[in-house]
């Protein structure tokens, strides 16, 4: 089982988009995929056809309920949904940090420290899933830290705009700390996201970014991508001429997704 987290402490950079495209593609290839929606805005959950009144993620993490009670099938028109499951979110997830503090003694008993809770829960699902794809909220909170501890790889969609690149430093510092302490096997990929190559400033920023990091092929800013979400039709299902399909194919090839 491979665990992939999509993260950026900035909002609106294409994290949920990345999760949706990646998870549905993997499921279409016959892998059994679990997605976890760690964002209280629950956009991934609703794109995958799942709306719950109240998420059970806190209870699951703490160990009060079992995995089978939080994992639900995704719903949609296409066959890949048969291989695609989700632990859905709702706005109640916003109080996760408070709940974890209240349950501190229980957390310590089970996991030692709260950062390890998710890894502990996922360790019981190794037989059941080939991939876990985690969507995270736009902040460096418990959800993100737990995900980094539990993951093999972190995908970081980054917009080629003014403040996004500065904000990356904070995330990369966190990545380094987790790698040095809890998870030496963790790797990352920076994905230029929603790029408009016609804008000079974006080209310049992309160039700057590529000098600082090894970056993957870019995902362009395309109306078709928004349609993919509103129609709930992943880009891998689009026609041969589709630019978004082309972008994602290049990306997946470059990071070894098949």
Ligand X SMILES: Nc1ncnc2c1ncn2[C@@H]1O[C@H](COP(=O)(O)OP(=O)(O)O)[C@@H](O)[C@H]1O
C-alpha distances in Å from residue 118, one per residue of 52, 54, 107, 232, 246: 21, 19, 11, 28, 34
User: Which is it for strands 187-192 and 153-158: parallel, antiparallel or unpaired?
Assistant: parallel
CA distance readout (Å), 69 to 38, 57, 103: 17, 10, 20
Nearest-approach distance from CB 129 to Mg ion, in angstroms: 22
| Size of residue set near Mg ion by CB under 5 A | 3
Task: Give the one entry of ligand X, Mg ion, none that residue 219 binds, where binding means its C-beta sits below a cut-off of 5 to 8 angstroms depending on kind.
Answer: ligand X
By CB under 5 A, is residue 16 in contact with Mg ion? yes
Span 198-237, contacts to ligand X by CB under 6 A? 219, 221-222, 225-226, 229
- Give yes or no for residue 16 binding ligand X (CB under 6 A): yes
The two tokens of residue 74 are 């995704």
Strands 33-37 and 2-6: unpaired
Q: Which of 3, 4, 7, 15 binds ligand X (CB under 6 A)?
A: 15
Nearest of 158, 250, 248 to residue 205 by alpha carbon: 158
Q: Does residue 14 sit in helix, strand or coil?
A: coil
Which of 10, 15, 31, 119 touches Mg ion (CB under 5 A)?
15
The residue within the footprint of ligand X, chosen from 3, 4, 13, 144 (CB under 6 A), is 13
Q: Which of residues 21-80 bind ligand X (CB under 6 A)?
A: 43
Separation between Cα atoms, residue 191 and residue 218, nearest integer Å = 6
Using CB atoms within 10 A of its CB, is residue 203 exposed (0-12), middle (13-18) or buried (19+)? Answer: middle
Is 10 near Mg ion (CB under 5 A)? no
Q: Tell me if 136 contacts Mg ion by CB under 5 A.
A: no
- Considering only 42-50, 113-121, 157-165, 173-181, which stretch makes contact with Mg ion by CB under 5 A? 42-50
Binding residues vs ligand X (CB under 6 A): 11-17, 43, 138, 194, 219, 221-222, 225-226, 229
Binding residues vs Mg ion (CB under 5 A): 15-16, 43
């Amino acid at each position: 089982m491979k665990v992939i987290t999509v993260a950026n402490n900035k909002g609106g950079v294409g994290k949920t988009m990345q999760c949706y495209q990646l998870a549905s593609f993997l499921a279409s290839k016959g892998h059994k995929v679990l997605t976890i929606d760690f964002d209280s805005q629950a956009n991934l959950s609703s794109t995958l056809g799942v709306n719950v009144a109240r998420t059970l993620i806190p209870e699951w993490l703490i160990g009060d309920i079992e995995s089978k009670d939080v994992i639900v099938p995704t719903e949609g028109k296409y066959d890949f949904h048969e291989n695609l499951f989700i632990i859905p979110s709702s706005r109640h997830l916003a109080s996760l940090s408070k709940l974890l503090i209240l349950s501190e003694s229980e957390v310590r008993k089970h996991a030692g420290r709260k950062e390890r809770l998710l890894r502990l829960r996922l360790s019981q699902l190794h037989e059941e899933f080939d991939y876990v794809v985690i969507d995270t909220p736009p902040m460096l909170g418990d959800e993100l830290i737990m995900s980094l501890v539990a993951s093999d790889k972190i995908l970081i969609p980054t917009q080629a705009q003014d403040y996004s690149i500065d904000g990356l430093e904070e995330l990369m510092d966190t990545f380094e700390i987790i790698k040095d302490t809890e998870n030496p096997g963790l790797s990352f990929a920076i994905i230029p996201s929603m790029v408009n190559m016609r804008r000079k400033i974006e080209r310049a920023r992309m160039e700057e970014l590529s000098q600082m990091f090894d970056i993957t092929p870019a995902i362009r800013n395309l109306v078709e991508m928004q349609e993919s979400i509103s129609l709930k039709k992943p880009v891998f299902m689009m026609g041969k001429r589709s630019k978004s399909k082309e972008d994602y194919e290049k990306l997946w090839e470059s990071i070894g997704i098949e």
